[in-house]
Structures are given as C-alpha cells and as structure tokens.
Amino acid sequence: MEQKRAYKYRIYPTNEQKHILAQTFGCVRFVFNWALRQKTDAYYKEQKRIYSKDLSEMLTALKKQDEYAWLAEVSSVPLQQSLRHLDKAFINFFEGRAEYPHFKKKRNQQSATYTSNAFVWRDGKITLAKMNEPLTIRWSRPLPEGSKPSSVTVSKDGADRYFISILVEEDIEHLPPSEQNVGADLGLKSFVVLSDGEVVGNPKFFHKDEKQLAKAQRRHAKKKKGSKNRDKARKKVARLHARIADRRRDFLHKLSTRMIRENQTICVESLAVKNMVKNEKLSKAMSYVGWSEFVSQLEYKAEWYGRTLVKIDRWYPSSKRCFDCGHLLDSLTLDVREWTCPECGVHHDRDINAAKNILAAGLSVQACGEAVRPGAVKTHPGKPRRSRKPRS
C-alpha cells in the first residue's frame, strides 16, 4: 500500500542559502502569528471563525501594503503552508490532542514547508524556490528507489543545525500477522509499563543529560545581559536541549517500532495534554512530553505495517479498577504505587494493573467493531484560553 513517509536529513546551507532561509523563517513565523491573532480576535471579539481560505485572501491583501512588502520577497508557498499548519494546530486543539496554538518565537525551532511547485528535484538534488544552487544534503540513508518528494520541510533547531524532511509516497509492506497483543500505560516512575509487566524507559536514562542542562542554565542566568559570554552560554544550553531531544526521539522510535513489530493490537490510553500539564508530578517526569509523540508514532506505524492501535478514552478508570475481579476503588492517589484489592485480595502494581485493563478494554472495543481508526477518540473541546501577546 502506498503510504506517505518522511525522511529527515541534516543539511549544510551556504551563507547565501542561510540568508534566504532566515528571511523565509521570519516571514513564516510572522504569517503564523498574524493569522493566529486574526483567528483569536475574531473568536473573542465577534464569536466568529475565520477559515484558512479567508486568511489566504487576507494575506494576499496584506502583501500589497507597502509596510508588508517584505513578505513578497520570499517564496509564497511556505507562507500558505504556514496557514495550513495553523489550521492543523486548531484541529488538534479542538480534538483535545493539543493546547491552544502558541505564538511562534524566534528562539525556538524555525521551519518552512515547500510543496512540489516550490522546489526542483533533479538528479537526486533539491533546489528550493528563490535559491540558485541545490542544498547540500547528508544522505544518511537513501530515499526509497524511484521515489519523488511531494513536499519538503526545512528547519533550523536551537543549536543552529539545519535539517530537511522529505515527504515521499512509498510502498510499505505489511508485517506478517502476530498473535501477541499489548496494553501500554504511561508510568509514573518509568516511561511506559506494558501489560506483560515490562517496564520501559527509566527516566534516570536522561538524568545525566538533565543535570548537565540545569548546570548550563544556571551559568547562562548568571552572565551579564547582552554580553558575549551570555550568548555563548545560551548556545551551550541550546546544544544540550537539542541533544536531549535527539536522544528522546531516538528512544521513542525504537520503542514504538518494537511494539508494532511484536504485537498485532496495541492498546494505549489517550491522554489529554492539558490535564497532564496541570498535574505537577507528571509534568516533572519527562513522560508527558513524549507520550503524545509516542502515540502518534504508534498511530502511523500501525497504519504502515498493518497493525491496529486502539486508543482508550482517557476517562476509563484503568488504574482504579482491579484487573482480576473488576472491583472499582473510590480513589487511588498518585503516590500509591501498589495496592491490594479489598474484594478479591489480589496485590497489584499500580501501572501493570492499569496496562492490563487498557489491553482488555482495547480488545473489547475492537471486538465490538467500534471505531478504532486513528484519531477516532472523541474528547470534549475545551474553551480556548487567552494566549499571550506575540513577542516577535
């Protein structure tokens, strides 16, 4: 089956290309923030929704004004794509998967997406609109034979590294069926706990990195504002952040690929990011940051390889319910790691019991033929909250 798949590589732009990219990133960021402001104002002041089609027309008009003429200096495609990204951010928000969209800041990762009409793909080389020469790409692995990129996203991270993510249509073969199924729960002391009792990803794994990061952050805070040393210290912090992010991503990919390979059905709890941030204990663990990324990896890998991912409603009482007899506790506070069922007397590890319940619930949902396609979990859209003022 033809599937869309992204391949990411490091790129080394020339100074001229860096200049064009910096300009483009700036315009993309501006358009995103401008459109977010339009949408937010329209919603709060007039209870109206603005759609991307309207925004697209408003953007065209904006570019014609003298004071925004600089927007016309870069390729128009990434700017239109920026409106699409905002649309997607709103869909994720309304479906309970993400927070209300934030304004983009200059310090964070920058990116620009080019659809096929805004780049040339020839002899295995990619030349972006407004550029004279192709990008220097470090091909760490080959693109699938004969594939043709449908869009590319160029990005720059906090450590000033540049990347290109190339989207191609690829024929991915389904894996042979497996007889195993698994339930996974977000652990408190570990990243994930599986229904067979396996505990994966001790946060201590990242402990050394985090200590180093905290030290670098303290150093940065002590340096005089505007000084060269402060800038140096900031870069050091950014490099550490980038390294931690790389390691986490790598860890999540290995885990999600393994779970998809070994199991036919994978059941997970769909967690609302908003609720988790409020919970201090969880927000301290690295867990919640990775969880939604992890679930989305499972989602697309399940589709590629012919597996089923079942997302259990987050209101399902997976922790408080005894797996053995179904007894439901009135409450179970976060500090309780183990408990004994008052009904049947079975002693439970909190997380393993939850993972077993998630698996059982997932399999029964599947057996009933209810919606199991990705994203089918219904959540109630919360009220959008006021966002901060744009800073850039």
Catalytic residues: 185, 269, 351
Query: Measuring CA to CA, which residue among 187, 199, 209, 355 is closest to residue 287?
Result: 187
Least distance in angstroms from the C-beta of 189 to Zn ion: 23
Query: Measuring CA to CA, which residue among 152, 89, 160, 88 is closest to residue 118?
Result: 152
Residue with smaller CB distance to Zn ion, 85 or 350: 350
Instruction: List helix spans (H) across 47-184.
Output: 52-64, 76-94
Could you give the C-alpha distances from 132 to 12, 25, 119, 218, 385, in angstroms and in order?
15, 18, 11, 43, 44
Query: Measuring CA to CA, which residue among 136, 105, 98, 117 is closest to residue 18?
Result: 136
Q: Is the dihedral of CA 224, 225, 231, 237 positive or negative?
A: positive
- Applying CB under 5 A, the residues found at the interface with Zn ion are 322, 324-325, 327, 341, 343-344
Residue with smaller CB distance to Zn ion, 17 or 353: 353
Residue with smaller CB distance to Zn ion, 104 or 348: 348
Least distance in angstroms from the C-beta of 345 to Zn ion: 7
Least distance in angstroms from the C-beta of 333 to Zn ion: 19
Residue with smaller CB distance to Zn ion, 69 or 325: 325
Query: Measuring CA to CA, which residue among 292, 266, 294 is closest to residue 355?
Result: 266
Residue with smaller CB distance to Zn ion, 309 or 341: 341
CA distance 120 to 273: 39
Least distance in angstroms from the C-beta of 322 to Zn ion: 3
Least distance in angstroms from the C-beta of 320 to Zn ion: 11
Residue with smaller CB distance to Zn ion, 240 or 352: 352
Residue with smaller CB distance to Zn ion, 276 or 341: 341
Looking up tokens 């002391």 gives 189
Query: Measuring CA to CA, which residue among 117, 119, 165 is closest to residue 143?
Result: 165
Which residues, other chains included, contact 30 with Cβ-Cβ below 8 Å and sequence gap of 6+? 71, 392
Least distance in angstroms from the C-beta of 185 to Zn ion: 18
106 contacts 29 by C-beta, under 8 angstroms:
yes
Could you give the C-alpha distances from 161 to 13, 101, 113, 178, 382, in angstroms and in order?
10, 25, 17, 40, 36
Least distance in angstroms from the C-beta of 84 to Zn ion: 50
Planar angle of CA 281, 158, 4, nearest 5 degrees: 85
Q: Is the dihedral of CA 59, 61, 62, 66 positive or negative?
A: positive
Token code pair at residue 164: 């290109």
